Amino acid sequence: MVLVNVKDQLTNNFIAQHEREQMEHQLAAARDLLDKRVCPGAEYTGWIDLPETFSEDTIERIEATAERIRRDFDVLIVVGIGGSYLGARAVIEALSHHFSSLLPDEKRGCPLVLYAGHQLSADYLFDLLEVVKGKRVALNVISKSGTTTESAIAFRVLRDHLFRYASREELAQRIVITTDEKRGALRRYADEMGITTFVIPDDIGGRYSVLTPVGLLPIAVAGLDIRQLLEGARRERKSSIAPLSEGLSAADRYAVNRLLLMRKGYKAEILACYEPSMRYFAEWWKQLFAESEGKDGKGLITMSVDFTSDLHSLGQLIQEGPRVFFETVIEFKNVRNDIAIPSDPSDLDQLEYLAGKPMSFVNRQARRGTALAHVSGGVPNMCIELKDRSLHSLGALIYFFERACALSGIMNGINPFDQPGVEAYKRNMFALLGKPGFEALREQLLRTSAEEGD
């Protein structure tokens, strides 16, 4: 049975069957380039076989390190930004208790996983330091380059406040570093201090790295079985690389539909989910597609919504605003817990017709009704159906999106694995901060700022 099912009937008013068929030769060419590793950015395609080739030794090391952190610490702070933390956070938040930070430690049964180094807010770090005071804190610092400003500053601040008086041995117990095998500042620091490290493979970029130690260590610390996650990805890989003669895979269909919609002038894809715990999964998805596709003046604007909450904020815009959106909905066939709606014979709230019905039924009808309303308002709708919100399903979903993103980028004629545009803000920031080597740019920026009255 396939783990990821793309239901695209609600795009039929917007895409003709012959248009899909005409895309098939482009799809076949893109698959060929990707699977033969001759596409643009081919040196970053290590994620393709990863679920199959992941070494048992590394899995065992991750599990043993996670077990030690679970035993010895109350809190794990994951220090990283972009692809270095979003995947872990996506999976952990999708599968953890909604209020895990409020649960007593013994009920949670694993360290609380918190995050730092994903922005530059001093207030945030101040509050984080306050909340972990008196707790046994471990850090997992994740950075391929080792020099990313946000995570490097957070690491310095946390080390200074939490471990100022720690011995070398204590530091080595409390820090785990996930970084490049040979290069970078973190690699040097880890080697000098004898700190446990995990490697970010050379051929896998940040946003494709959730199924490497980047994502897997924090996920394992959160008490989740990484083998099941990898197994879901492995199964999805198998169905998505099956020959095209056996029919389009889920990733193929999704890639083709979104590309056709983009070519018809749709500007933005909205990822919608009816489970609030999927919020960070959507953040991961937004980064995956935006950073992969947004180049050479191309790409879809990636937006995400939590339904039904956001139907009461963005719903009006989606229904009747500019016709530039299409919607992709993640749907779970089975819920984890259900609650029956209680009976109240007074029926003041006029809900008695729902008495005894499960909330999942109401949620499902809200989803169906919304999709039909949006389609009739001119918003094409695709549904990605999964059996449940489980490690298996999420592993498959991660692989599905990675594959679809790579394929749609290749079909669209861009390199889906680089991110040259991210450097622009960094260069300006370094210049304004006075980093050596950026003097000329600093002069130029200060002149422009003065002219603009900043």
240, with CB counted inside 10 A (0-12, 13-18, 19+), is buried
145 near ligand PA5 (CB under 6 A):
yes
81 binds ligand PA5 (CB under 6 A): yes
Backbone angles phi, psi at 113, to 5 degrees: -100, 120
Instruction: Compute the distance between CA of residue 194 and CA of residue 192 in angstroms, rounded to an integer.
Output: 6
Q: At 236, which amino acid appears?
A: E
Establish if 31 lies at the interface with ligand PA5 (CB under 6 A).
no
The Cα 154–Cα 17 span in angstroms is 51
* Known active-site residue 161: no
Packing angle of the helix pair 250-263, 24-35 (nearest 10 deg): 120
Instruction: Please tell me whether residue 207 binds ligand PA5 under the rule CB under 6 A.
Output: yes
**Using the rule CB under 6 A, is 249 a contact of ligand PA5?**
no
Can you tell me whether residue 274 is helix, strand or coil?
Answer: coil
Contact between 96 and ligand PA5 by CB under 6 A: the answer reads: no
Residue 426 designated active-site:
yes
Question: Near ligand PA5 by CB under 6 A, which window of 42-50, 107-115, 200-208, 401-409?
Answer: 200-208
Closer to ligand PA5 by CB, 8 or 402: give it: 402
Report the residue number, 144 or 392, with the smaller CB distance to ligand PA5. 144
320-359 binders of ligand PA5 (CB under 6 A): none
Give the separation between CA 34 and CA 29, rounded to whole angstroms. 9
Least Å distance between CB 142 and ligand PA5?
6
Listed ranges 35-43, 77-85, 245-253, 391-399: which one lies at the site for ligand PA5 (CB under 6 A): 77-85
Q: By CB under 6 A, is residue 144 in contact with ligand PA5?
A: yes
Which of these is catalytic: 291, 293, 331, 402?
291
Is residue 298 flagged as an active site residue?
Answer: no
Cβ proximity to ligand PA5, 200 vs 411, nearer residue: 200
Asked if 83 interacts with ligand PA5 (CB under 6 A), we say yes
In the complex, what is the shortest distance from the CB of residue 154 to ligand PA5, in angstroms, rounded to a whole number? 11
List, in sequence order, every residue forming a beta bridge with 78; answer none if it has no partner: 115, 140
Identify the H or E element spanning 68.
helix 56-72
145/308 with CB nearer ligand PA5: 145
Q: How far is the CB of 206 from ligand PA5 (least distance, A)?
A: 2
**93 interacts with ligand PA5 by CB under 6 A:** no
CB of 288 to ligand PA5, least distance (A): 8
3 state SS of 408: helix
What do you get for the CA distance between the two ends of the chain, in Å? 59
Residues linked to residue 304 through DSSP beta bridges, in sequence order:
271
Candidates 62, 66, 69, 82; binder of ligand PA5 (CB under 6 A) is 82
Stretch that binds ligand PA5, among 81-89, 302-310, 346-354, 382-390 (CB under 6 A): 81-89
Q: Which residues, including other chains, have CB under 8 Å from residue 62's CB and lie 6 or more apart? A: 198, 213, 216, 217, 220, 226
Cβ count within 10 A of residue 424:
9
Select from 69-77, 141-149, 330-338, 346-354 the region that touches ligand PA5 (CB under 6 A).
141-149
Q: Which residues contact 367 (CB under 8 A, 6 or more apart)?
A: 274, 307, 329, 331
DSSP-assigned beta bridge partners for residue 350: none
State the minimum distance, in angstroms, from the CB of residue 17 to ligand PA5: 36
Catalytic residue among 106, 312, 451, 452: 312
3-state helix, strand, coil in the chain (%, to 5): 55, 15, 35
Distance CA 125, CA 161 (A): 10
Catalytic center residues: 291, 312, 426
Judged by the rule CB under 6 A, the positions of this chain that interact with ligand PA5 are 81-84, 143-145, 148, 151, 205-207, 291, 419
